């Protein structure tokens, strides 16, 4: 059951992080459905050379780094993962990518990766992954509307608070966004996380 909500005539993606609306109410406002489920995400079988080296570096350095703010999380946890991901996929990465499709769907995407027709939206947030998901979901809706003529049915997104990542998928035909119930930890689940990223961008 969705509750009808009212939004300002103009708002940024980050506003949805702050508001106390439930995700299903926000998505219903834009005409999309919401579900939570254990997603069966694609996994690449590609040999990811150097991944074990990244994992060792993270395990060795993290005890000495104060990961207590968003900038630290981006620089020392998220950026190293994305740099290796680019190496494996040759995806183009746009940071703080501006996107405006309508007054209530505008601002910038933290990380926008594209390899061929495959793309991935990543939102980096402070220590609240549930609120981060709401913002990510709205960003996926904006991307969906911006690429209205594209043939791809599935849009993938991930929200990260540095040590923890969570995926979401937007089914364009069904206009449905699914929040994954699974969480991936860095560095413990780094290998599985990276194989999913590579499969999304090269599939």
Query: What structural domains and CATH numbers belong to the chain?
Result: 32-202 (3.90.1570)
The whole-chain average pLDDT of the chain stands at 94
Among residues 131, 95, 171, 179, the alpha carbon closest in space to that of 22 is found at 131
**pLDDT per position as a tens digit, 62-75:** 999 998 888 999 99
Which DSSP helix (H) or strand (E) runs through 29?
helix 23-29
pLDDT of residue 179: 98
Among residues 185, 191, 140, the alpha carbon closest in space to that of 166 is found at 185
Q: Apex CA 195: angle with CA 16 and CA 73, to 5°?
A: 45
In terms of pLDDT, which residue wins out, 115 or 127?
A: 115
Whether 118 has a pLDDT exceeding 80, the answer reads yes
**pLDDT per position as a tens digit, 23-56:** 999 999 999 999 999 999 999 999 999 999 999 9
**pLDDT per position as a tens digit, 87-102:** 999 999 999 999 999 9
Q: Give strand pairing partners of 171.
A: 154, 176
Give the lowest-confidence range in 26-35, 147-156, 173-182.
Answer: 147-156
Confidence (pTM): 0.95
Distance in angstroms (rounded) separating the CA atoms of residues 86 and 105: 27
pLDDT band of 124, cuts 50, 70, 90:
confident
pLDDT band of 2, cuts 50, 70, 90:
low
Question: Tokens in use for 108?
Answer: 């910038």
CB atoms within 10 A of CB 135: 26
Whether 141 has a pLDDT exceeding 90, the answer reads yes
Strands of the chain (E only): list them.
Answer: 33-37, 92-102, 105-115, 118-124, 154-160, 164-171, 176-180, 184-185
pLDDT of residue 117: 77
pLDDT of residue 36: 97
Dihedral angle over CA of 148, 87, 190, 109, nearest 10: -30
């Amino acid at each position: 059951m969705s509750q009808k909500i009212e939004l300002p005539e103009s708002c940024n993606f980050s506003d949805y992080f702050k508001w106390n609306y439930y995700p299903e109410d926000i998505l219903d406002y834009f005409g999309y459905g919401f579900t939570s489920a254990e997603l069966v995400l694609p996994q690449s079988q590609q040999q990811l050379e150097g991944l074990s080296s990244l994992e060792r570096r993270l395990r060795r350095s993290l005890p000495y780094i104060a990961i207590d703010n968003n900038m630290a999380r981006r620089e020392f946890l998220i950026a190293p993962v994305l740099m290796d991901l680019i190496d494996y996929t040759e995806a183009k990465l746009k940071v703080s990518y501006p996107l405006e499709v309508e007054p209530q769907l505008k601002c910038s995407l933290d990380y926008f990766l594209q390899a061929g027709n495959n793309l991935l939206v990543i939102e980096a947030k402070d220590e609240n992954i549930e609120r981060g998901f709401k913002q990510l979901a709205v960003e996926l809706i904006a991307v969906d509307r911006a690429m209205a003529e594209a043939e791809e049915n599935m849009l993938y997104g991930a929200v990260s608070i540095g040590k923890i990542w969570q995926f979401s998928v937007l089914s364009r035909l069904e206009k449905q966004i699914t929040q994954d119930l699974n969480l991936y930890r860095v560095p413990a689940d780094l290998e599985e996380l990276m194989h999913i990223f590579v499969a999304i961008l090269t599939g």
